[in-house]
Amino acid sequence: MFRRAFLSAASKSSHIVCSVPAKCRGSSSRVSTVAVSSASNGPQREVRVKHILLKSDESLKMKEIRDKLDKGINFSELARVYSRCPSANDGGSLGWVRKGATVPEFEECIFAADAGQTTECTTEYGRHLVLVEEERAAVPAVQTMGPLLSDPGMDVQLVDVREGRELELASIPGFEHFPLSAFGEWEDTIAEDLDPSKKTLCLCHHGIRSQQMAQFLIARGFTDVVNVAGGIDAYSRLADPSIPKY
């Protein structure tokens, strides 16, 4: 619950991706975002972040961690030992974070830091020691998934994680159905049912369940996963009104 609240506290509009308990690993794999919304003004950035969460009054422990970093101990190992965030299991990785996807204090901290820099900030959740691993231009907002869906040269796997009853209400041709409610039925065979080396596009109603799926696929070794922020609801409202809304 912490990680969902922490990274979704600022997410009130449909084009922001909420984070989920199973975050992606800090690896060459990535979860991108197709934001079905109008592009915002100016170039957008996103940063790949790890953090160690402590209680606000644990200043001595923070100093201890910094001393160990100075001695060359790996940040991820320290996160696994010290961090109070569930992301400790992933070495503190929060994956790629864009503006608007986290609480203001944390956002200000990570976007003010240079790649490779460690910094600190305090939020309502406690004191964070943050490592900004790298930055890149954010996936641009688009009005449609058309380029991914219609380009014959684009070898994309399309995954819909909604319930069967939802597909009866609204669907987009070409998507394979992997309902999250049936996770236990396909969890162990997903890498056989789909090709981990192909670009994989994940869709749900509003973009939250599909982000969970995207993070799960990354954890299973998929190398290029795209989440549709806002889901089929945003796609219907902003790109293809012929798709029913529900």
125 and 13 in a single domain? The answer is no
Residues found in the chain: 246
Pairing of strands 224-229, 199-203: parallel
- In this prediction the pTM is 0.51
Buried b (16+ CB within 10 A) or exposed e, 205-225: bbbbbbbbbbbbbbeeebbbb
33 or 236, which is more confident: 236
Q: Which of 18, 24, 109, 204 is catalytic?
A: 204
Domain that holds residue 177: 2-40+140-238
45 or 156, which is more confident: 156
Among the listed residues 100, 118, 3, the one whose alpha carbon sits nearest the alpha carbon of residue 49? 118
17: pLDDT strictly greater than 60: no
pLDDT band for 102, please (50, 70, 90 cuts).
Answer: confident
What number is the average pLDDT over the span 186-204? 94
224 and 108 in a single domain? The answer is no
128 and 190 in a single domain? The answer is no
151 and 234 in a single domain? The answer is yes
Among the listed residues 32, 50, 2, the one whose alpha carbon sits nearest the alpha carbon of residue 211? 32
Q: Is 204 a catalytic residue?
A: yes
195: pLDDT strictly greater than 80: yes
CATH (domain of 26):
3.40.250.10
Q: Which of 84, 117, 137 is the last residue of a domain?
A: 137
Is 243 contained in some domain?
no
Task: Give yes or no for a contact between 199 and 215, defined as CB atoms under 8 angstroms apart.
Answer: no
Backbone angles phi, psi at 15, to 5 degrees: -90, 0
65-94 residue pLDDT tens: 999 999 999 999 999 999 999 899 999 999
Is 100 contained in some domain?
yes
117-149 residue pLDDT tens: 999 999 999 999 999 999 987 654 434 466 667
157 and 36 in a single domain? The answer is yes
81 and 126 in a single domain? The answer is yes
Q: Which of 117, 137, 157 is the last residue of a domain?
A: 137
151 and 231 in a single domain? The answer is yes
Is 245 contained in some domain?
no
CA 115 vs. chain centroid, Å, equals: 19
> For the chain, how big is the Rg over CA atoms in Å?
19
Give the per-residue pLDDT at 32: 58
107 and 197 in a single domain? The answer is no
Is 14 contained in some domain?
yes
Q: Which of 41-45, 60-64, 150-154, 200-204 has the lowest mean pLDDT?
A: 41-45
Give the per-residue pLDDT at 36: 52
75 and 117 in a single domain? The answer is yes
CA separation, residue 143 to residues 56, 140, 158 (Å): 42, 10, 18
Sheet strands (E) in 42-117: 45-54, 93-98
Q: Which of 83, 109, 137 is the last residue of a domain?
A: 137
226 and 189 in a single domain? The answer is yes
For the chain, the average pLDDT equals 81
152 and 35 in a single domain? The answer is yes
14 and 51 in a single domain? The answer is no
Give the per-residue pLDDT at 30: 52
